[in-house]
Chain A
Protein backbone atom coordinates (compact mmCIF):
# COMPACT_ATOMS: atom_id res chain seq x y z
CA UNK A 1 0.00 0.00 0.00
CA UNK A 2 2.65 2.47 1.11
CA UNK A 3 4.94 1.35 -1.69
CA UNK A 4 2.21 1.94 -4.25
CA UNK A 5 1.75 5.45 -3.07
CA UNK A 6 5.24 6.77 -2.37
CA UNK A 7 8.62 6.91 -4.04
CA UNK A 8 11.26 5.92 -1.49
CA UNK A 9 13.64 8.79 -0.83
CA UNK A 10 16.28 8.00 1.86
CA UNK A 11 17.52 11.60 2.05
CA UNK A 12 14.06 12.89 2.80
CA UNK A 13 13.66 10.26 5.49
CA UNK A 14 16.78 11.49 7.23
CA UNK A 15 15.43 15.02 7.20
CA UNK A 16 12.27 13.73 8.83
CA UNK A 17 14.27 11.86 11.51
CA UNK A 18 16.19 15.04 12.28
CA UNK A 19 12.93 16.95 12.68
CA UNK A 20 11.42 14.49 15.17
CA UNK A 21 13.03 15.97 18.33
CA UNK A 22 11.95 19.45 17.28
CA UNK A 23 8.46 18.16 16.63
CA UNK A 24 8.30 16.55 20.07
CA UNK A 25 9.55 19.74 21.65
CA UNK A 26 6.81 21.74 19.95
CA UNK A 27 4.35 19.10 21.14
CA UNK A 28 5.46 19.83 24.69
CA UNK A 29 5.18 23.57 24.10
CA UNK A 30 1.86 23.72 22.34
CA UNK A 31 0.11 20.39 22.93
CA UNK A 32 -2.88 19.36 20.85
CA UNK A 33 -2.56 22.27 18.44
CA UNK A 34 0.50 20.66 16.88
CA UNK A 35 -1.38 17.40 16.40
CA UNK A 36 -4.46 19.13 15.02
CA UNK A 37 -2.40 21.11 12.52
CA UNK A 38 -0.52 17.97 11.49
CA UNK A 39 -3.81 16.12 11.03
CA UNK A 40 -4.88 18.79 8.57
CA UNK A 41 -1.60 19.50 6.81
CA UNK A 42 -0.25 15.99 6.14
CA UNK A 43 -3.35 14.47 4.48
CA UNK A 44 -4.02 17.57 2.39
CA UNK A 45 -0.40 17.95 1.30
CA UNK A 46 -0.18 14.31 0.27
CA UNK A 47 -3.58 14.44 -1.41
CA UNK A 48 -2.68 17.53 -3.44
CA UNK A 49 0.49 15.89 -4.72
CA UNK A 50 -1.31 12.60 -5.32
CA UNK A 51 -4.06 14.17 -7.41
CA UNK A 52 -1.61 15.99 -9.68
CA UNK A 53 0.94 13.18 -9.90
CA UNK A 54 -1.81 10.72 -10.79
CA UNK A 55 -2.54 12.62 -14.00
CA UNK A 56 1.13 12.18 -14.84
CA UNK A 57 1.07 8.52 -13.87
CA UNK A 58 3.66 9.02 -11.12
CA UNK A 59 3.83 8.34 -7.41
CA UNK A 60 4.00 10.80 -4.54
CA UNK A 61 7.51 11.78 -3.42
CA UNK A 62 8.47 11.43 0.22
CA UNK A 63 9.67 15.00 -0.04
CA UNK A 64 6.07 16.11 0.42
CA UNK A 65 6.23 14.68 3.94
CA UNK A 66 9.20 16.94 4.65
CA UNK A 67 7.31 19.88 3.19
CA UNK A 68 4.31 19.15 5.42
CA UNK A 69 6.44 18.67 8.52
CA UNK A 70 8.40 21.87 7.89
CA UNK A 71 5.19 23.76 7.21
CA UNK A 72 3.70 22.61 10.53
CA UNK A 73 6.81 23.76 12.36
CA UNK A 74 7.01 27.22 10.80
CA UNK A 75 3.42 28.16 11.63
CA UNK A 76 2.42 30.10 14.70
CA UNK A 77 0.69 27.70 17.11
CA UNK A 78 -2.73 29.33 17.31
CA UNK A 79 -3.29 29.59 13.56
CA UNK A 80 -6.78 28.46 12.50
CA UNK A 81 -6.79 25.04 10.84
CA UNK A 82 -8.46 26.18 7.65
CA UNK A 83 -5.63 28.65 7.03
CA UNK A 84 -3.12 25.83 7.41
CA UNK A 85 -5.19 23.89 4.88
CA UNK A 86 -5.16 26.75 2.37
CA UNK A 87 -1.42 27.13 2.89
CA UNK A 88 -0.37 23.56 2.28
CA UNK A 89 -2.60 23.15 -0.77
CA UNK A 90 -1.21 26.33 -2.24
CA UNK A 91 2.37 25.41 -1.38
CA UNK A 92 2.33 21.91 -2.83
CA UNK A 93 0.26 22.85 -5.85
CA UNK A 94 1.67 26.21 -6.94
CA UNK A 95 5.22 25.99 -5.66
CA UNK A 96 5.86 22.36 -6.57
CA UNK A 97 3.36 20.57 -8.82
CA UNK A 98 2.87 23.44 -11.27
CA UNK A 99 6.59 23.30 -11.99
CA UNK A 100 6.41 19.59 -12.70
CA UNK A 101 6.63 17.95 -9.30
CA UNK A 102 9.58 16.79 -7.23
CA UNK A 103 13.00 17.92 -8.40
CA UNK A 104 11.71 20.65 -10.71
CA UNK A 105 10.43 23.26 -8.33
CA UNK A 106 12.26 26.58 -8.15
CA UNK A 107 10.81 27.68 -4.84
CA UNK A 108 10.71 25.92 -1.53
CA UNK A 109 7.09 24.73 -1.15
CA UNK A 110 6.90 25.06 2.64
CA UNK A 111 8.19 28.64 2.57
CA UNK A 112 5.93 29.55 -0.34
CA UNK A 113 2.98 28.18 1.61
CA UNK A 114 3.90 30.20 4.64
CA UNK A 115 4.41 33.42 2.69
CA UNK A 116 1.08 32.95 0.93
CA UNK A 117 -0.93 32.56 4.10
CA UNK A 118 1.08 35.20 5.90
CA UNK A 119 0.41 37.82 3.23
CA UNK A 120 -3.21 36.73 3.02
CA UNK A 121 -3.97 36.76 6.73
CA UNK A 122 -1.42 39.02 8.43
CA UNK A 123 -3.57 39.95 11.40
CA UNK A 124 -4.26 36.33 12.29
CA UNK A 125 -0.57 35.53 12.05
CA UNK A 126 0.35 38.39 14.33
CA UNK A 127 -2.17 37.14 16.91
CA UNK A 128 -1.22 33.51 16.50
CA UNK A 129 1.69 33.34 18.92
CA UNK A 130 1.33 31.78 22.36
CA UNK A 131 3.33 31.33 25.51
CA UNK A 132 5.13 28.00 25.18
CA UNK A 133 5.31 25.14 27.68
CA UNK A 134 3.07 22.71 29.57
CA UNK A 135 1.44 21.35 26.42
CA UNK A 136 -0.04 24.62 25.32
CA UNK A 137 -2.15 25.30 28.40
CA UNK A 138 -0.36 28.44 29.55
CA UNK A 139 -2.12 31.01 27.44
CA UNK A 140 -5.02 31.55 25.15
CA UNK A 141 -4.33 32.91 21.72
CA UNK A 142 -4.94 36.62 21.39
CA UNK A 143 -5.91 37.19 25.01
CA UNK A 144 -2.42 36.84 26.34
CA UNK A 145 -0.85 38.47 23.33
CA UNK A 146 1.68 40.60 25.18
CA UNK A 147 3.38 37.83 27.09
CA UNK A 148 3.30 35.65 24.00
CA UNK A 149 5.30 38.11 21.92
CA UNK A 150 8.08 36.52 19.95
CA UNK A 151 11.65 37.33 20.96
CA UNK A 152 11.95 39.48 17.86
CA UNK A 153 8.90 41.48 18.85
CA UNK A 154 10.39 41.93 22.32
CA UNK A 155 13.71 43.02 20.85
CA UNK A 156 11.87 45.48 18.62
CA UNK A 157 10.57 47.10 21.77
CA UNK A 158 14.00 47.09 23.32
CA UNK A 159 13.35 44.30 25.83
CA UNK A 160 15.95 41.58 25.95
CA UNK A 161 14.63 38.10 26.77
CA UNK A 162 16.65 35.72 28.97
CA UNK A 163 19.52 34.23 26.99
CA UNK A 164 18.96 30.66 28.20
CA UNK A 165 15.28 30.80 27.19
CA UNK A 166 16.22 31.86 23.72
CA UNK A 167 18.91 29.18 23.47
CA UNK A 168 16.71 26.35 24.70
CA UNK A 169 13.59 27.55 22.95
CA UNK A 170 11.20 28.51 25.76
CA UNK A 171 10.14 31.62 23.91
CA UNK A 172 7.22 32.50 21.73
CA UNK A 173 7.50 32.02 18.02
CA UNK A 174 6.59 29.66 15.24
CA UNK A 175 6.21 26.17 16.62
CA UNK A 176 9.49 24.57 15.63
CA UNK A 177 11.84 27.47 15.16
CA UNK A 178 12.49 28.46 18.76
CA UNK A 179 14.87 25.89 20.16
CA UNK A 180 18.34 26.82 18.99
CA UNK A 181 19.90 23.77 20.68
CA UNK A 182 17.65 21.21 18.98
CA UNK A 183 18.04 22.87 15.60
CA UNK A 184 21.83 22.87 15.92
CA UNK A 185 21.79 19.18 16.89
CA UNK A 186 19.57 18.36 13.93
CA UNK A 187 21.93 20.33 11.70
CA UNK A 188 24.91 18.35 12.95
CA UNK A 189 23.05 15.09 12.29
CA UNK A 190 22.16 16.18 8.77
CA UNK A 191 25.70 17.23 7.95
CA UNK A 192 27.25 14.03 9.37
CA UNK A 193 24.86 11.82 7.42
CA UNK A 194 25.66 13.93 4.32
CA UNK A 195 21.99 14.78 3.96
CA UNK A 196 22.52 18.50 4.10
CA UNK A 197 25.33 20.49 2.52
CA UNK A 198 27.28 22.27 5.27
CA UNK A 199 28.31 25.11 2.94
CA UNK A 200 24.68 26.15 2.64
CA UNK A 201 24.17 26.23 6.40
CA UNK A 202 27.39 28.08 7.13
CA UNK A 203 26.87 30.44 4.20
CA UNK A 204 23.44 31.44 5.46
CA UNK A 205 24.74 32.05 8.97
CA UNK A 206 27.69 34.08 7.67
CA UNK A 207 25.38 36.21 5.54
CA UNK A 208 22.96 36.77 8.39
CA UNK A 209 25.62 37.24 11.07
CA UNK A 210 27.63 39.63 8.93
CA UNK A 211 24.77 41.95 8.10
CA UNK A 212 23.45 41.76 11.64
CA UNK A 213 26.77 42.71 13.20
CA UNK A 214 27.19 45.54 10.73
CA UNK A 215 23.71 46.88 11.48
CA UNK A 216 24.18 46.56 15.24
CA UNK A 217 27.52 48.33 15.42
CA UNK A 218 26.59 51.00 12.91
CA UNK A 219 23.60 51.81 15.11
CA UNK A 220 21.05 51.31 12.35
CA UNK A 221 19.28 48.58 14.26
CA UNK A 222 20.59 48.83 17.81
CA UNK A 223 17.91 46.70 19.43
CA UNK A 224 19.27 43.45 18.07
CA UNK A 225 22.52 42.21 19.61
CA UNK A 226 23.85 39.78 16.97
CA UNK A 227 23.96 36.73 19.24
CA UNK A 228 20.29 37.15 20.07
CA UNK A 229 19.24 37.92 16.56
CA UNK A 230 20.80 34.74 15.25
CA UNK A 231 19.33 32.52 17.95
CA UNK A 232 15.84 33.99 18.05
CA UNK A 233 13.53 34.08 15.08
CA UNK A 234 13.91 31.59 12.32
CA UNK A 235 17.44 32.21 10.98
CA UNK A 236 18.84 28.98 12.39
CA UNK A 237 15.85 26.94 11.30
CA UNK A 238 16.05 28.41 7.83
CA UNK A 239 19.80 27.82 7.62
CA UNK A 240 19.49 24.16 8.59
CA UNK A 241 16.26 23.09 6.91
CA UNK A 242 15.38 25.61 4.21
CA UNK A 243 18.66 26.68 2.60
CA UNK A 244 19.67 23.04 2.41
CA UNK A 245 16.63 21.89 0.45
CA UNK A 246 18.46 19.88 -2.24
CA UNK A 247 15.93 20.74 -4.93
CA UNK A 248 15.91 24.51 -4.69
CA UNK A 249 19.60 25.01 -3.74
CA UNK A 250 22.48 25.20 -6.23
CA UNK A 251 24.96 22.33 -6.67
CA UNK A 252 28.34 23.97 -7.23
CA UNK A 253 30.36 24.76 -4.08
CA UNK A 254 30.98 28.42 -4.90
CA UNK A 255 27.35 28.87 -5.85
CA UNK A 256 26.33 27.26 -2.57
CA UNK A 257 28.37 29.74 -0.56
CA UNK A 258 26.90 32.66 -2.47
CA UNK A 259 23.40 31.23 -2.20
CA UNK A 260 23.64 30.85 1.57
CA UNK A 261 25.04 34.34 1.97
CA UNK A 262 22.25 35.82 -0.17
CA UNK A 263 19.59 34.12 1.94
CA UNK A 264 21.16 35.18 5.22
CA UNK A 265 21.86 38.75 4.20
CA UNK A 266 18.51 39.37 2.52
CA UNK A 267 16.68 37.86 5.50
CA UNK A 268 18.27 40.27 7.92
CA UNK A 269 17.96 43.29 5.66
CA UNK A 270 14.23 42.65 5.21
CA UNK A 271 13.65 41.77 8.84
CA UNK A 272 15.38 44.81 10.29
CA UNK A 273 15.07 47.52 7.68
CA UNK A 274 11.80 46.86 5.86
CA UNK A 275 8.21 47.01 6.97
CA UNK A 276 7.83 43.23 7.00
CA UNK A 277 8.81 41.07 9.94
CA UNK A 278 8.95 37.95 7.73
CA UNK A 279 12.55 38.48 6.72
CA UNK A 280 13.75 34.90 6.58
CA UNK A 281 10.87 33.62 4.48
CA UNK A 282 11.42 36.29 1.86
CA UNK A 283 15.15 35.71 2.11
CA UNK A 284 14.73 32.07 1.16
CA UNK A 285 12.43 32.86 -1.76
CA UNK A 286 14.82 35.49 -3.09
CA UNK A 287 17.70 33.05 -2.66
CA UNK A 288 15.68 30.42 -4.57
CA UNK A 289 15.37 32.80 -7.50
CA UNK A 290 19.15 32.99 -7.81
CA UNK A 291 19.92 29.30 -7.27
CA UNK A 292 20.15 28.09 -10.85
CA UNK A 293 21.59 31.40 -12.01
CA UNK A 294 24.45 31.00 -9.53
CA UNK A 295 25.12 27.46 -10.74
CA UNK A 296 25.13 28.76 -14.29
CA UNK A 297 27.51 31.63 -13.53
CA UNK A 298 29.96 29.43 -11.71
CA UNK A 299 30.00 26.92 -14.56
CA UNK A 300 30.36 29.61 -17.21
CA UNK A 301 33.52 30.97 -15.64
CA UNK A 302 35.27 27.63 -15.98
CA UNK A 303 34.13 27.07 -19.52
CA UNK A 304 34.78 30.64 -20.57
CA UNK A 305 38.16 29.91 -22.18
CA UNK A 306 37.30 27.42 -24.96
CA UNK A 307 34.22 29.25 -26.26
CA UNK A 308 35.94 32.29 -27.83
CA UNK A 309 38.62 30.00 -29.23
CA UNK A 310 36.10 28.15 -31.39
CA UNK A 311 34.60 31.41 -32.49
CA UNK A 312 38.04 32.54 -33.59
CA UNK A 313 38.52 29.32 -35.45
CA UNK A 314 35.35 29.81 -37.45
CA UNK A 315 36.39 33.29 -38.40
CA UNK A 316 39.75 32.20 -39.55
Chain B
Protein backbone atom coordinates (compact mmCIF):
# COMPACT_ATOMS: atom_id res chain seq x y z
CA UNK B 1 0.00 0.00 0.00
CA UNK B 2 1.16 3.46 -0.81
CA UNK B 3 2.59 5.42 2.08
CA UNK B 4 0.46 8.46 1.31
CA UNK B 5 -2.73 6.45 1.86
CA UNK B 6 -5.21 8.16 4.11
CA UNK B 7 -8.04 5.71 3.64
CA UNK B 8 -8.32 2.00 3.05
CA UNK B 9 -9.72 0.72 -0.26
CA UNK B 10 -12.88 -0.68 1.32
CA UNK B 11 -13.85 2.68 2.78
CA UNK B 12 -13.20 4.37 -0.55
CA UNK B 13 -15.40 1.85 -2.29
CA UNK B 14 -18.28 2.41 0.10
CA UNK B 15 -17.95 6.19 -0.02
CA UNK B 16 -17.87 6.40 -3.80
CA UNK B 17 -20.58 3.86 -4.51
CA UNK B 18 -22.93 4.82 -1.73
CA UNK B 19 -22.44 7.49 0.94
CA UNK B 20 -21.19 10.12 -1.45
CA UNK B 21 -22.33 8.67 -4.72
CA UNK B 22 -21.54 11.18 -7.48
CA UNK B 23 -25.09 11.23 -8.87
CA UNK B 24 -27.51 10.97 -6.02
CA UNK B 25 -25.51 12.55 -3.23
CA UNK B 26 -23.16 14.97 -4.95
CA UNK B 27 -25.52 15.52 -7.90
CA UNK B 28 -22.68 15.71 -10.42
CA UNK B 29 -22.76 14.67 -14.04
CA UNK B 30 -26.52 15.11 -14.32
CA UNK B 31 -26.37 16.41 -17.89
CA UNK B 32 -25.19 13.09 -19.30
CA UNK B 33 -27.47 11.19 -16.92
CA UNK B 34 -30.41 12.86 -18.65
CA UNK B 35 -29.12 12.66 -22.17
CA UNK B 36 -27.72 9.21 -22.81
CA UNK B 37 -29.77 6.94 -20.60
CA UNK B 38 -32.58 5.87 -22.91
CA UNK B 39 -30.80 2.75 -24.16
CA UNK B 40 -28.87 0.37 -21.93
CA UNK B 41 -26.21 -0.41 -24.52
CA UNK B 42 -25.36 3.26 -25.06
CA UNK B 43 -25.42 3.93 -21.33
CA UNK B 44 -23.15 0.98 -20.69
CA UNK B 45 -20.57 2.11 -23.22
CA UNK B 46 -20.78 5.73 -22.14
CA UNK B 47 -20.32 4.86 -18.48
CA UNK B 48 -17.48 2.43 -19.23
CA UNK B 49 -15.88 5.41 -20.96
CA UNK B 50 -16.38 7.49 -17.83
CA UNK B 51 -14.98 4.78 -15.55
CA UNK B 52 -11.93 4.45 -17.81
CA UNK B 53 -11.41 8.21 -17.94
CA UNK B 54 -11.82 8.82 -14.19
CA UNK B 55 -9.60 5.90 -13.27
CA UNK B 56 -6.85 6.69 -15.76
CA UNK B 57 -6.85 10.44 -15.24
CA UNK B 58 -6.74 10.01 -11.45
CA UNK B 59 -3.83 7.62 -11.90
CA UNK B 60 -2.00 9.97 -14.23
CA UNK B 61 -2.61 13.05 -12.09
CA UNK B 62 -1.34 11.15 -9.07
CA UNK B 63 1.79 9.98 -10.90
CA UNK B 64 2.56 13.44 -12.19
CA UNK B 65 1.54 15.43 -9.14
CA UNK B 66 5.04 16.09 -7.86
CA UNK B 67 6.11 17.52 -11.23
CA UNK B 68 3.16 19.79 -11.85
CA UNK B 69 3.75 23.48 -11.06
CA UNK B 70 0.92 24.86 -8.91
CA UNK B 71 0.04 27.65 -11.32
CA UNK B 72 -0.92 25.30 -14.14
CA UNK B 73 -2.31 22.50 -11.99
CA UNK B 74 -5.91 22.76 -13.19
CA UNK B 75 -4.90 23.23 -16.80
CA UNK B 76 -2.74 20.12 -16.70
CA UNK B 77 -5.56 18.14 -15.08
CA UNK B 78 -7.93 19.24 -17.81
CA UNK B 79 -5.37 18.29 -20.43
CA UNK B 80 -4.99 14.82 -18.95
CA UNK B 81 -8.75 14.31 -18.80
CA UNK B 82 -9.23 15.58 -22.33
CA UNK B 83 -6.52 13.24 -23.51
CA UNK B 84 -8.31 10.16 -22.20
CA UNK B 85 -11.69 11.34 -23.42
CA UNK B 86 -10.35 11.81 -26.93
CA UNK B 87 -8.87 8.32 -26.81
CA UNK B 88 -12.30 6.95 -25.87
CA UNK B 89 -13.89 8.98 -28.66
CA UNK B 90 -11.41 7.75 -31.28
CA UNK B 91 -11.81 4.13 -30.25
CA UNK B 92 -15.61 4.38 -30.38
CA UNK B 93 -15.57 6.03 -33.79
CA UNK B 94 -13.32 3.36 -35.22
CA UNK B 95 -14.78 0.24 -33.67
CA UNK B 96 -18.31 1.07 -32.54
CA UNK B 97 -19.50 3.61 -35.15
CA UNK B 98 -23.22 3.16 -34.43
CA UNK B 99 -22.83 3.75 -30.71
CA UNK B 100 -20.55 6.68 -31.39
CA UNK B 101 -23.23 8.27 -33.59
CA UNK B 102 -25.93 7.69 -30.99
CA UNK B 103 -23.89 9.21 -28.20
CA UNK B 104 -23.09 12.15 -30.42
CA UNK B 105 -21.43 15.01 -28.57
CA UNK B 106 -21.83 13.37 -25.17
CA UNK B 107 -18.60 11.41 -25.40
CA UNK B 108 -16.70 14.63 -25.88
CA UNK B 109 -18.66 16.14 -23.03
CA UNK B 110 -17.24 13.55 -20.61
CA UNK B 111 -14.48 16.18 -20.30
CA UNK B 112 -16.91 18.50 -18.60
CA UNK B 113 -18.16 15.80 -16.24
CA UNK B 114 -17.41 17.30 -12.85
CA UNK B 115 -16.89 13.88 -11.28
CA UNK B 116 -13.56 13.41 -13.05
CA UNK B 117 -12.13 16.81 -12.28
CA UNK B 118 -13.52 16.50 -8.76
CA UNK B 119 -11.71 13.23 -8.08
CA UNK B 120 -8.49 14.47 -9.65
CA UNK B 121 -8.51 17.62 -7.54
CA UNK B 122 -9.92 16.20 -4.31
CA UNK B 123 -8.18 12.84 -4.19
CA UNK B 124 -5.50 12.11 -6.77
CA UNK B 125 -3.70 15.38 -6.06
CA UNK B 126 -2.84 14.20 -2.55
CA UNK B 127 -2.79 10.40 -2.74
CA UNK B 128 -0.70 7.64 -4.24
CA UNK B 129 -1.25 6.33 -7.77
CA UNK B 130 -2.80 2.96 -6.96
CA UNK B 131 -5.27 4.35 -4.45
CA UNK B 132 -6.08 7.20 -6.84
CA UNK B 133 -6.76 4.74 -9.62
CA UNK B 134 -9.04 2.80 -7.29
CA UNK B 135 -10.77 5.98 -6.14
CA UNK B 136 -11.34 7.16 -9.72
CA UNK B 137 -12.61 3.78 -10.79
CA UNK B 138 -15.07 3.39 -7.92
CA UNK B 139 -16.37 6.93 -8.44
CA UNK B 140 -16.99 6.03 -12.06
CA UNK B 141 -18.70 2.84 -10.96
CA UNK B 142 -20.98 4.79 -8.63
CA UNK B 143 -21.97 6.94 -11.58
CA UNK B 144 -22.36 3.86 -13.77
CA UNK B 145 -24.63 2.07 -11.31
CA UNK B 146 -27.13 4.91 -11.11
CA UNK B 147 -27.13 5.54 -14.84
CA UNK B 148 -27.69 1.88 -15.62
CA UNK B 149 -30.60 1.78 -13.18
CA UNK B 150 -32.17 4.76 -14.94
CA UNK B 151 -31.49 3.31 -18.37
CA UNK B 152 -33.02 0.01 -17.30
CA UNK B 153 -36.36 1.64 -16.59
CA UNK B 154 -36.20 3.97 -19.56
CA UNK B 155 -35.38 1.33 -22.15
CA UNK B 156 -37.84 -1.15 -20.68
CA UNK B 157 -40.75 1.29 -20.76
CA UNK B 158 -39.63 3.43 -23.68
CA UNK B 159 -38.80 0.64 -26.12
CA UNK B 160 -40.01 -2.53 -24.41
CA UNK B 161 -36.52 -4.00 -24.60
CA UNK B 162 -33.32 -4.45 -22.59
CA UNK B 163 -29.91 -4.16 -24.29
CA UNK B 164 -31.84 -4.14 -27.55
CA UNK B 165 -33.52 -7.47 -26.81
CA UNK B 166 -37.28 -7.37 -26.88
CA UNK B 167 -38.81 -8.10 -23.48
CA UNK B 168 -42.41 -7.10 -23.94
CA UNK B 169 -44.46 -8.57 -26.80
CA UNK B 170 -45.15 -6.68 -30.04
CA UNK B 171 -48.41 -5.19 -28.82
CA UNK B 172 -46.65 -3.27 -26.05
CA UNK B 173 -47.30 0.46 -26.09
CA UNK B 174 -43.99 2.30 -25.64
CA UNK B 175 -43.91 5.23 -23.21
CA UNK B 176 -42.60 8.02 -25.39
CA UNK B 177 -41.73 10.19 -22.41
CA UNK B 178 -39.20 7.58 -21.30
CA UNK B 179 -37.33 8.04 -24.58
CA UNK B 180 -37.08 11.77 -23.94
CA UNK B 181 -34.64 13.29 -21.42
CA UNK B 182 -37.25 14.75 -18.99
CA UNK B 183 -38.19 11.29 -17.74
CA UNK B 184 -34.70 10.93 -16.30
CA UNK B 185 -35.51 13.86 -13.98
CA UNK B 186 -38.30 11.87 -12.39
CA UNK B 187 -36.17 8.77 -12.16
CA UNK B 188 -33.14 10.55 -10.69
CA UNK B 189 -35.50 12.23 -8.24
CA UNK B 190 -36.84 8.87 -7.17
CA UNK B 191 -33.36 7.41 -6.82
CA UNK B 192 -32.20 10.36 -4.70
CA UNK B 193 -35.30 9.93 -2.56
CA UNK B 194 -34.95 6.18 -2.08
CA UNK B 195 -31.19 6.45 -1.54
CA UNK B 196 -31.49 9.14 1.11
CA UNK B 197 -34.35 7.37 2.86
CA UNK B 198 -32.25 4.22 3.20
CA UNK B 199 -29.24 6.22 4.42
CA UNK B 200 -31.47 7.93 6.95
CA UNK B 201 -32.69 4.58 8.26
CA UNK B 202 -29.11 3.36 8.54
CA UNK B 203 -28.33 6.38 10.63
CA UNK B 204 -25.81 7.85 8.19
CA UNK B 205 -25.63 11.64 8.32
CA UNK B 206 -27.74 12.82 5.41
CA UNK B 207 -26.22 15.68 3.50
- Given a CB threshold of 8 Å, the question of whether A touches B is answered with yes
CB–CB B177/A124 < 8 A: no
Q: Which residues of A contact B173 (CB under 8 A)?
A: 80, 83, 121, 124
Whether B175 sits at the interface, judged by CB under 8 Å, is: yes
Q: Is B168 an interface residue (CB 8 A)?
A: no
- Nearest 7 A-B pairs (CB), nearest first? A120-B177, A120-B175, A119-B177, A120-B176, A122-B176, A121-B173, A119-B176
- Interface size for B (C-beta < 8 A) is 8
| A124 CB, min distance to chain B CBs, angstroms | 7
Tally A residues with Cβ within 8 Å of B.
10
Which A residues between 87 and 115 are near B, CB-CB below 8 angstroms? 94, 98
Collect the chain A residues with CB atoms within 8 Å of residue B177's CB. 116, 119-120
- Chain B residue nearest to A115 (CB atoms) is B177
Taken together as a complex, chains A and B put the C-alpha atoms of A94 and B188 apart, in Å, by 13
Residues of B within 8 A of A116 (CB): 177
Complex contacts, A121 vs chain B, CB 8 Å: 173, 175-176
A-side contacts of B180, CB under 8 Å: 119
CA of A98 to CA of B178, assembled, Å: 20
- 12 A-B pairs with C-beta separation under 8 A: A80-B173, A83-B173, A98-B189, A116-B177, A119-B176, A119-B177, A120-B176, A120-B178, A121-B173, A121-B175, A122-B176, A124-B173
B186 within 8 A of A: yes
CB distance from A287 to the nearest CB of B (A): 19
Give the residues in chain A near B176, CB-CB below 8 Å: 119-122
Can you name the residue of chain A whose Cβ is closest to the Cβ of B179? Answer: A120
> Min CB distance, B198 to chain A, in Å?
15
Taking the nearest CB of chain A, how far is it from the CB of B51, in angstroms? Answer: 32
Give Cα distance in the complex from A83 to B157, angstroms. 13
Residues of B within 8 A of A119 (CB): 176-177, 180
Determine the chain A residues whose CB is within 8 A of the CB of B175 once the complex forms. 120-121
Residues 148 to 198 of chain B near chain A (Cβ within 8 Å): 173, 175-178, 180, 186, 189
Distance, CA A120 to CA B177, complexed state (A): 4
Instruction: Give the complex CA separation of A120 and B176 in angstroms.
Output: 4
User: Could you tell me which residues of chain B, from 96 to 143, have a CB within 8 Å of some CB in chain A?
Assistant: none
1/0 contact trace for B2-46 toward A, CB 8 Å? 000000000000000000000000000000000000000000000
Complex CA–CA separation, A121 to B172 (angstroms)? 11
B186: chain A residues within 8 A (beta carbon): 94
Known A116-B177, A121-B173, A121-B175; further 6 A-B contacts with Cβ < 8 A: A80-B173, A98-B189, A119-B176, A119-B180, A120-B175, A120-B176
In the bound complex, residues from chain A placing their C-beta under 8 Å from that of B178 are: 120
Nearest CB of chain B from residue A71's CB, rounded to whole Å: 17
> What is the CB-to-nearest-CB distance from B135 to chain A, in angstroms, rounded to a whole number?
34
Min CB–CB distance B157 → chain A (angstroms): 9
| Distance, CA A121 to CA B173, complexed state (A) | 8
Residues of chain B within 8 A of A83, CB atoms compared: 173
Q: Looking across the interface, which residue of chain B has its beta carbon closest to that of A83?
A: B173
For the complex, what is the distance from the CA of A83 to the CA of B175, rounded to whole Å? Answer: 10
